[in-house]
């Protein structure tokens, strides 16, 4: 699955002669890898998001009364599919100012789609299952990835100046985001040691 997310970067790397491997490792204060961290590279020169990238299929499924994945990074303008794979109904909503919406109760096998144009964070909940929570991170760059269980990603990015940013819903920082300016010339390895709060509530009182 994660290879799927890396694909756009690989494709880009092939089209540009001066591309560099930017390896990013995120760990917490105790040295444990932090998964579900969205890593983005925004070149100073700017980079348009190719249409192919926008046209990709992004899925935020409901399965076992949980959202999957917990964090989903999508480029601005992408469409996300919300299939219900459970036998129970779900009422998916978001009150996030970036894009408030709701899909009133829908049953198994049914799906809704939603296009996300504005970059930002969309917190997802289920009206009838308080324990369900997930985040869609809408990014405004073609160079993005989400860390896996090892807390690492590798981005194929062009050399030159830019801003490397990481985002995690539990990151103890303003807007849950940290950024650092870099000037890349060839491969680079960046590490972030961060303070991450425990995950969002997984169990309610109801």
Q: Of these, 69, 75, 125, 158, which contacts another protein (CB under 8 A)?
A: 125
Per CB under 8 A, contacts with another protein among 166-185 are 170
Does 100 help bind another protein (rule: CB under 8 A)? Answer: yes
The dihedral formed by the CA atoms of 120, 97, 88 and 201, expressed in degrees to the nearest 10: 70
Nearer to another protein, 17 or 203 (CB): 203
Of residues 67 and 116, the one with the C-beta less far from another protein: 67
Task: Give the span between the Cα atoms of 63 and 85, in whole angstroms.
Answer: 5
**CA torsion, ordered 137, 139, 142, 145, to nearest 10 deg:** -30
Nearer to another protein, 131 or 190 (CB): 131
Binding of residue 202 to another protein (CB under 8 A): yes
13 binds another protein (CB under 8 A): no
What is the C-alpha to C-alpha distance for residues 79 and 54, in angstroms, rounded to an integer?
8
Q: Does 6 bind another protein (CB under 8 A)?
A: no
To 5 degrees, how large is the angle CA 78–CA 83–CA 87?
165
- The rounded distance, in Å, linking the Cα atoms of 152 and 32 is 11
Q: What angle do CA 115, 117, 120 make, to 5 degrees?
A: 110
Q: How many CB atoms lie within 10 A of CB 205?
A: 5
Query: At closest approach, how far in Å is the CB of 104 from another protein?
Result: 11
Which one among 26, 71, 74, 132 touches another protein, defined by CB under 8 A? 132
Q: Is position 200 an interface residue for another protein (rule: CB under 8 A)? A: yes
Residues that bind another protein (CB under 8 A): 93, 95, 100, 123-125, 127, 130, 132-133, 170, 197-198, 200-206
């Amino acid at each position: 699955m994660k290879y799927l997310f890396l694909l756009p970067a690989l494709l880009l790397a092939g089209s540009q002669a001066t591309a560099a491997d930017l390896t990013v490792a995120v760990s917490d204060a105790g040295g444990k890898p932090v998964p579900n961290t969205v890593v983005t590279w925004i070149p100073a020169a700017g980079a348009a998001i190719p249409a192919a990238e926008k046209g990709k299929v992004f899925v935020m499924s409901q399965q076992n009364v949980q959202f999957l994945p917990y964090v989903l990074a999508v480029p601005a303008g992408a469409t996300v599919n919300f299939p219900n794979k459970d036998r129970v109904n779900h009422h998916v909503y978001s009150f996030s100012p970036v894009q408030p919406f709701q899909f009133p109760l829908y049953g198994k096998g049914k799906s809704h789609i939603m296009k996300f144009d504005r970059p930002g964070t969309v917190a997802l909940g289920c009206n009838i299952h308080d324990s369900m929570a997930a985040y869609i991170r809408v990014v405004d760059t073609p160079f993005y990835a989400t860390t896996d269980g090892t807390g690492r990603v590798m981005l194929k990015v062009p050399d030159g100046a830019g801003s490397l940013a990481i985002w995690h819903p539990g990151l103890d920082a303003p807007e849950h985001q940290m950024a650092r300016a870099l000037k890349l010339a060839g491969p680079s390895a960046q590490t972030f040691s961060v303070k991450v709060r425990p995950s969002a509530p997984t169990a309610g009182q109801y």
